[in-house]
Each structure stands twice: as structure tokens, then as C-alpha cells.
Amino acid sequence: MGPGPALDDLKAQAEAMNLTEWVHFTGPVPRDEVSLYLLAADLFVFPSVTESQGLVLDEAQAAGLPC
């Protein structure tokens, strides 16, 4: 949900695959609103290649999202 070095590349990939209708890059979200975004989502994607476990994965699973 926040910015990172791969953001521009991920946006370009979503556009190249015609997924912009379904893939949304929200930018930073206030901590107290994260659960609302997760509950509104159909799928959670965690594109990190360096983090083996992040708290956000637990949050996504708690919201019932496939990860």
C-alpha cells in the first residue's frame, strides 16, 4: 500500500497486462484504515523478494484473503 522502489514497475506491469481496472495502488494508508482496505479486497499480493514474513501477511490472512 505504500511507496517503494518497485512501484513504477508494478504499475507498468499492471497496465501492460490490462489489469488497471482490478489492480489498485492506493499509496500510503493510515494505520487505522488498513483493515478496511483489506476487508474490501478480493486478493492480497505481497511482491517482496526480501521479506520472508511481514505483519501485513498476517493481517491479510486475518481478513480472509488468499495470499
Segment 16-45, tens digit of pLDDT:
999 999 998 888 889 899 899 999 999 888
Give the integer Cα–Cα distance in Å for 1 and 43.
13
Longest CA–CA separation in the chain, Å: 33
Residue 53, pLDDT > 80, answer: no
**Taking 80 as the threshold, does the pLDDT of residue 56 lie above it?**
yes
Helix, strand, or coil (residue 64): coil
